[in-house]
Amino acid sequence: MTTRTKVLATFALSTLGLVSFRAASDSERYFEIAKNLDIFATLFKEVNTYYVDEITPGKLVKTGIDGMLKSLDPYTNYIPEDDIEDFRTMTTGQYGGIGAVVVKRNGKTVVQSAYEGYPAQKAGLLPGDEILTINNINVDKKTNADISKLLKGQANSVAKLIVTRYGQDKPVEIDITRDKIQVNNVPYYGMLTPEIGYFQLGGFTVDAGREVRNAVVKLKEQGAKKLIFDIRDNPGGLLNEAVNISNLFVDKGLDVVSTKGKVTEWNKTYKALDVPLDTQIPIAIITSNRSASASEIVSGVLQDYDRAVLVGERTFGKGLVQATRPLSYNSQLKVTTAKYY
């Protein structure tokens, strides 16, 4: 046997051994998964049959799921069907509701504001009204999150409110037909001085890039020669919207962010694909310790390409990308799939 043949044979055996090792490793892993799922199922059956008190199966299983995911990271979560609407609000900025800000104040549930042109305002709900019940449910001991869920619902469904109003002797009943409510990513923009424009970015839901573009265009039309970009307390959102916003201020073709995870097919480098809006206007970005994820991508990119200076607090430091995966019975898994660089 020649030296070359020996080398090839050794390489072939090594490769075969590696493949066999991987196959064995995969087989062991799948057996471990099947084994533990079987243990969980039999354990649950025994608890359901013999535990001294009555149990709620769905609640018990969810507790188990939440405990399992808690061991991973804070951003990998199980989303049951009942919470899907809230999750959609986070990604689309749209929800079915009445269009009002309701807060707890001194133990009372008070309407802080009713958005102009939205269902609450059209139905006659006024700032200062104290809500007593929503669809016959007393809200006295409900939290802000509980009240938000009660007020939200499918468009065209009705929220029946009983409120007390200043100057009225008797409670007032108000029926509000819910509609689709759109939460703006840019809740405010305006001129601070004749030359300095300011805009706030509250989220990265669908169309965030377009909203920022529109705000900057309007500010420049009003004479803005410098910009203050406020992303304080912005928790992040859609990765592609972070890329779109970065693209407004950096040259076409530049790298914006790269993602890397276990599924190599999903690894990707995102580039600025469009002609920018303005690559010269000076920008100051205000951050806080709750500016996270997509906020950190935008601020980091604009700083790295010398397009902005950062002022304020150190950002949250998330650096992770999540994706949603469909599960049975209209539930979903939000799972960390990659890190960004």
DSSP labels, 138-163: E-TT--HHHHHHHH---TT-EEEEEE
Q: Is 148 a catalytic residue?
A: no
Answer yes or no: is 146 within a domain: yes
Catalytic residue among 246, 291, 293, 295: 293
Q: Is 318 a catalytic residue?
A: yes
Distance of alpha carbon 291 from alpha carbon 3, whole angstroms: 62
Least Cα distance to 131 among 149, 150, 109 occurs for 109
* 250 shares its domain with 192: yes
Give me 13's structure tokens.
């055996």
CB 212 within 8 A of CB 199: yes
Answer yes or no: is 48 within a domain: no
* pLDDT for the residue numbered 16: 44
Q: Is 160 a catalytic residue?
A: no
Pairing of strands 172-177, 137-138: unpaired
Distance of alpha carbon 242 from alpha carbon 89, whole angstroms: 18
Q: What are phi and psi of 74, to 5 degrees?
A: -70, -10
Last residue in a domain, options 182, 213, 248 = 182
| Single-letter residue type at 74 | P
- Measured on CA atoms in the order 182, 180, 153, 327, is the torsion positive or negative? negative
* pLDDT for the residue numbered 2: 52
Distance of alpha carbon 157 from alpha carbon 135, whole angstroms: 11
* 207 shares its domain with 316: yes
Answer yes or no: is 16 within a domain: no
Answer yes or no: is 193 within a domain: yes
Domain residue limits at 129:
94-182
Pairing of strands 188-191, 179-182: unpaired
* pLDDT for the residue numbered 22: 54
Q: What are phi and psi of 176, to 5 degrees?
A: -120, 120
What's the CATH code of the domain at 121?
2.30.42.10
Last residue in a domain, options 182, 202, 228 = 182
Instruction: Report helix, strand or coil for 329.
Output: helix
Least Cα distance to 89 among 164, 202, 165, 181 occurs for 181
Catalytic residue among 152, 179, 230, 318: 318
pLDDT values of the chain reduced to their tens digit, one per residue, 341 residues: 554 444 334 434 444 444 454 555 778 888 999 999 999 999 999 999 999 999 999 999 999 999 999 999 999 999 998 888 778 777 888 889 999 989 888 889 999 888 888 999 999 999 999 999 999 999 999 998 899 989 998 889 999 999 999 999 999 999 999 999 888 899 899 999 999 999 999 999 999 999 999 999 999 999 999 999 999 999 999 999 999 999 999 999 999 999 999 999 999 999 999 999 999 999 999 999 999 999 999 999 999 999 999 999 999 998 999 999 999 999 999 999 999 99
Catalytic residue among 226, 268, 304, 331: 304
* 137 shares its domain with 169: yes
What's the CATH code of the domain at 206?
3.90.226.10
Least Cα distance to 296 among 279, 321, 272, 273 occurs for 321
Answer yes or no: is 6 within a domain: no
CB 138 within 8 A of CB 162: no
* 177 shares its domain with 268: no
* pLDDT for the residue numbered 211: 97
Distance of alpha carbon 268 from alpha carbon 2, whole angstroms: 45
For residue 212, how far is the Cα from the chain centroid?
Answer: 18
* 153 shares its domain with 232: no
Distance of alpha carbon 134 from alpha carbon 59, whole angstroms: 25
Q: What total number of domains does the chain contain? A: 2
* 115 shares its domain with 220: no
Distance of alpha carbon 250 from alpha carbon 244, whole angstroms: 10
Pairing of strands 100-105, 94-97: unpaired
